[in-house]
Amino acid sequence: MTLIKSISGIRGTIGGTTGENLTPIDVVKFASAYGSWVKEQRNKDNYRVVVGRDARISGEMIQELVMQTLVGLGIHVIDLGLSTTPTVEIAVTEEHADGGIILTASHNPKQWNALKLLNNKGEFLNDNEGKKILEIADSEKFQFSEVDHLGEITKNDAYIDIHIDKVLDLTLVNEDAIKAANFKVVVDAVNSTGGIAIPLLLERLGVHTVKLYCTPNGDFPHNPEPLKEHLGEISKLVVQEKADLGIVVDPDVDRLALISENGEMFGEEYTLVACADYVLSKTPGNTVSNMSSSRALRDVTEKHGGNYQASAVGEVNVVKLMKDINAIIGGEGNGGVIYPESHYGRDALVGIALFLSHLAEKKMNVSKLRASYPSYFMSKKKIALTPELDVDGILQKIKEKYASENITTIDGVKIDFPENWVHLRKSNTEPIIRIYTEAKSQQEADALADRFISEIKSIS
């Protein structure tokens, strides 16, 4: 059982001992710290925070604890109920709120939940803001409101529809072309809130939808991380249904994976590549992804005459660099598309609308579109952390060993070899070391990852 406190919020497993897991007491403590931080930002009479959750089993309990804690601090809560991460982000700005909390452990299994924290722009907190909230939580000195000044809760279940409206209003979303294409799509929403949002979006776009695991009851039928090894059922169903593609989202709907018409993975890394290709073909400019993402985005960006740059891992880091270089699209290679024309957050709904627009205009099938991009293969592996594992010491020794190579250390250690690369870093969301590699073949990528796993184990 685990509790992870980081600048992006608090994440842990439900049940167990206080301070070691995500118990009700820990939820109240960190909600109190966040609410106290919100009130420190501006001196005003009326504070408002948007709260929404994915469909995981513990969500309703966690949400009630969070909302009533904010009420106790004198903060008014806009309760979105079952929602998505990008929907909550959009609601913060639409409501002119002081912040937002999304109750989701993203791709983690059902025993996990988390408080993901937003500022008044609907964006994730930066390093300094996150550290300040952790300091407030550690102090446990919270100033709650007297009885006449408690907050209130207002329910608003319209925001998924509002979110969809805003997606369809985007200039580059070609509704007419999508409707004319008469697409048939299979959707796997892992029984979370994507099962509400994605079919509604596709219905508005005139897409015939076959639903797989779209009941938002939190009973995840498979590991909710949208990776190939977890998606055998939808891959088969796409072929059986003679569908044009499959769409897979994680529980909070900020990651998008696609299945080609032949049941093959389009490649999680290539979600962003394809959307960027479409956007850049209409509005040339710069792009950003993180250091663990594919070189294919760089290749596509340069093809369109733009400048590509890589940030440290983490959405907040990607967004900061996007703003710094005025990138017109960016994101993360885990299927996270960030399109500033909509908002600065990973958004599977935006990704779906851009991808379908691209596919409809190209008038080609998904496998042919995938074959049009530079072909890279990634391996994503991990090593579980143990108390005796000195991660910093291991990474330092790896850095010294490969000092003659092109090394970047803004986030762990990334070694760029001429024909491939490896990125080693400690995860922000799980007690693991991540080992990501990319090469010109899957065999080469896997072999490179296994080689570095062996090196790490020999050092430790």
Q: Residue 120 in contact with residue 101, Cβ under 8 Å?
A: no
Residue stretches of the chain with pLDDT short of 50: none
> Regarding the domain with residue range 3-158, which homologous superfamily does it belong to in the CATH classification?
Alpha-D-Glucose-1,6-Bisphosphate, subunit A, domain 3 (3.40.120.10)
So which residues are the catalytic ones? 106
Region(s) of the chain under CATH 3.30.310.50: 377-459
Structure confidence at residue 427 (pLDDT): 83
Residue 264 vs residues 207, 208, 235, 260: alpha-carbon distances, Å? 21, 20, 7, 5
Structure confidence at residue 175 (pLDDT): 98
Structure confidence at residue 426 (pLDDT): 87
Structure confidence at residue 3 (pLDDT): 86
CA 313 – CA 67 distance, rounded (Å): 30
What is the CATH code for 377-459? 3.30.310.50
DSSP type of residue 115: E
Region(s) of the chain under CATH 3.40.120.10: 3-158, 174-371
Q: Residue 355 in contact with residue 271, Cβ under 8 Å?
A: yes
The residue behind tokens 């805003």 is 166
> For the domain with range 174-371, which CATH number is right: 3.40.1390.10, 3.40.50.1860, 3.40.30.10, 3.40.120.10?
3.40.120.10
218-227 pLDDT per residue, tens: 999 999 999 8
- The alpha helices in 140-193, defined as continuous H runs, are 159-168, 175-181
Structure confidence at residue 390 (pLDDT): 85
